[in-house]
């Protein structure tokens, strides 16, 4: 079985680390894995998406529209931007954070209202979490990505012990405790 994961957010939100942890998880589980990320321009506060595919034998490094089992959206608007990547019965996991894009800051465009309601009505399975708050509870908002991973682990029925090991191996030693706490909070939340 192949698991297709799409991670979307805003440059600087830590989406790359999230995909690296999932990649580590795949290696620890002795699975094939491909990740795809875009560097460069988008780092400067633009939309970023990274793709993770785990399974027996993976060919394409990118997930396609209608092909994701789960989407981890680090920001609400970004979840709306990529929700068409989800499979019919896929899960949309949304961090309830709002980051205004420049056209909305300048007033040239409106940040859509009622996004949460729209998502709930248009996607079969949506899960909202306040990952940033939970991360702060664990000790740092930088661990938002790890909170999200905790939730993914539960929602996708991934191997919890191995995921924790992957988290522990991917973060600096001194932040290990903090991140494992963040992971646990994300896990319990959903």
Choose which of 14, 17, 74, 78 interacts with other proteins (CB under 8 A). 78
Choose which of 5, 18, 21, 26 interacts with other proteins (CB under 8 A). 26
Q: How many residues does the chain have?
A: 190
Sign of torsion, CA 5 60 44 181?
A: positive
Residue 20 C-beta: closest distance to other proteins, Å: 8
Q: Is 33 in the site for other proteins (CB under 8 A)?
A: yes
d(CA 77, CA 184): 26
Show contacts with other proteins in window 84-103 (CB under 8 A): 84-85, 100-103
The SS3 call for residue 164 is: helix
Question: Which residue matches tokens 């399974």?
Answer: 55
Are 117 and 150 a contacting pair, CB within 8 Å?
no
Q: Which residue stretch of 38-46, 127-135, 167-175, 176-184 sits at the interface with other proteins (rule: CB under 8 A)?
A: 38-46
> In the complex, which residues of this chain contact other proteins (CB under 8 A)?
10-11, 23-24, 26-27, 32-47, 59-62, 64-67, 77-78, 80-85, 100-112
């Amino acid at each position: 079985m192949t698991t297709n994961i799409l991670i979307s957010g805003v440059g600087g939100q830590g989406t790359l680390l999230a995909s690296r942890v999932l990649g580590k998880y795949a290696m620890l589980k002795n699975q094939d894995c491909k990740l795809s990320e875009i560097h460069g321009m988008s780092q400067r506060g633009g939309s970023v998406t990274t793709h993770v595919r785990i399974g027996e034998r993976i060919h394409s490094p990118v997930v396609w529209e209608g092909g994701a089992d789960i989407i981890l959206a680090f920001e609400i608007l970004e979840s709306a931007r990529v929700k068409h990547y989800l499979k019919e019965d896929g899960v949309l996991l949304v961090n309830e954070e709002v980051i205004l894009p420049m056209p909305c800051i300048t007033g040239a465009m409106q940040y859509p209202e009622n996004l949460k309601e729209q998502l709930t009505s248009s996607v079969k399975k949506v899960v909202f979490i306040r990952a940033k708050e939970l991360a702060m509870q664990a000790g740092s908002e930088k661990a938002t990505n790890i909170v999200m991973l905790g939730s993914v682990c539960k929602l996708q029925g991934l191997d919890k012990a191995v995921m924790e090991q992957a988290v522990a191996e991917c973060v600096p030693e001194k932040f290990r405790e903090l991140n494992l706490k963040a992971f646990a909070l994300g896990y319990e939340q959903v």
